[in-house]
Amino acid sequence: MPLLSLTNVQKSYGSHQVLAITDWQIEEGIYWIQGENGAGKSTLFRTLAGMLAHEGEIVLDERYSLRRQPVEYRLRLNLGEAEPLYPAFLTPADLLAFVGEAQQSPAGQMKYLTEVLGINYLDQPLGGCSSGMVKKLSLALAFLGRPRLIILDEPLITIDQEARAALFALIKAYRAEGVSFLLSSHQPFAPSDLPITAGYALRNRTLVPWQP
Ligand SMILES: Nc1ncnc2c1ncn2[C@@H]1O[C@H](COP(=O)(O)OP(=O)(O)OP(=O)(O)O)[C@@H](O)[C@H]1O
């Protein structure tokens, strides 16, 4: 049963078409998406997260259409952006509380995520946090709630080895609970890092099986 189906999905900025995906489906698993700079990965992920207007049909779990059941769909699909930007005066505690409520985070989940990812600067305004500290927070936010699919755009940029190991452990733990992942990276993941189900490349505005 497909977890995510895209049919005739198109996205343009003005006259510049970035996505033209006729038919693409994935089942549960951990997927890796590669793309050259400017290929459209962030545009694809923001489209899947419902942040950009698009043409075509995007359906999760054969039931939740982004267009027709937007609330149910968004509760089940989380996005961690490549280069997250937050207002400088907010703290990690503020954002975790806000996103946690919106995503209906179960009791204890925020504490678990902040401990695993080493977010021990909960009350420090983000304007005074390093890019790695902001990135780790954005990753924690992407795991909140009870998602079916978590999309992480360039999850490894700016984070250190310890956070990378913690993130991979978290991905495996969530995967064991039935959560699927779409990850982008300019570099392929080593098989020892993560059990990747399949890789795709974003080329010529569409997704094709990845080949080295
Ligand atoms: N808001 C926007 N307005 C106009 N064009 C945009 C906008 N955002 C992205 N683009 C264009 O769409 C194309 C795809 O951009 P996108 O950011 O999705 O690529 P990407 O694959 O994520 O790139 P990178 O790996 O460099 O982050 C680029 O040609 C970019 O210039």
Rounded to an integer, what distance in angstroms lies between the CA atom of residue 23 and that of residue 29? 18
Cβ 206 under 6 angstroms from ligand 1: no
Cβ 89 under 6 angstroms from ligand 1: no
Give SS3 for 153: strand
Cβ 41 under 6 angstroms from ligand 1: yes
Confidence of residue 185 (pLDDT cuts 50, 70, 90): confident
Which CATH number covers residue 88? 3.40.50.300
pLDDT, tens digit, 9 for 90 and up, residues 139-174:
999 999 999 999 999 999 999 999 999 999 999 999
pLDDT, tens digit, 9 for 90 and up, residues 45-87:
999 999 999 999 999 999 999 999 999 999 999 999 999 999 9
pLDDT, tens digit, 9 for 90 and up, residues 95-131:
999 999 999 999 999 999 999 999 999 999 999 999 9
Rounded to an integer, what distance in angstroms lies between the CA atom of residue 113 and that of residue 117? 6
| Alpha carbon nearest to ligand 1 atom 17, residue | 42
CA distances from 35 to 155, 175, 201, 211 (A): 14, 24, 6, 12
| Alpha carbon nearest to ligand 1 atom 23, residue | 38
Q: Which of 104, 13, 88 is nearest to 54 (CA)?
A: 13
Structurally, the chain folds into a number of domains equal to 1
Rounded to an integer, what distance in angstroms lies between the CA atom of residue 67 and that of residue 54? 10
> What residue numbers bound the domain in which 131 lies?
4-209
